[in-house]
């Protein structure tokens, strides 16, 4: 609908994905992935998909992030790549 808003969100989305993949600390990676999920929810709303937007915000930004943090605290936090 508004291409300037969508391009800005896309650029932040790619930046968050890069940060999530490249950080050595896994907790940083997981927080970046939650930011990525929330930005994608904003993008869905900008594209007119409000139902998908709030499902992604609840499930991707909430449940998935909590599960990931629990996994990391049950395993290890360091990562070599």
Helical residues (DSSP H) of the chain, grouped into ranges:
3-22, 26-46, 50-58, 64-74
Nearest alpha-carbon partner for 13 in 41, 50, 52: 41
Contact call for residue 2 and another protein (CB under 8 A): no
Contact call for residue 3 and another protein (CB under 8 A): yes
Contact call for residue 15 and another protein (CB under 8 A): no
Question: How far is residue 73's CA from residue 3's CA, in Å, rounded to a whole number?
Answer: 40
Give the binding site for another protein (CB under 8 A): 1, 3, 6-7, 10, 13-14, 17-18, 20-21, 26, 29-30, 33, 36-37, 40, 43-44, 47-52, 55-56, 59-60, 63-64, 67-68, 70-72, 74-76, 79-81
């Amino acid at each position: 609908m508004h291409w300037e808003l969508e391009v800005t969100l896309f650029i932040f989305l790619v930046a968050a994905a890069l940060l999530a993949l490249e950080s050595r600390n896994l907790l940083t990676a997981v927080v970046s992935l939650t930011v990525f999920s929330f930005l994608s929810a904003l993008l869905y709303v900008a594209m007119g998909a409000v139902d998908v937007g709030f499902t992604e915000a609840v499930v991707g930004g909430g449940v998935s992030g909590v599960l990931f943090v629990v996994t990391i605290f049950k395993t290890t936090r360091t990562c070599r790549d």
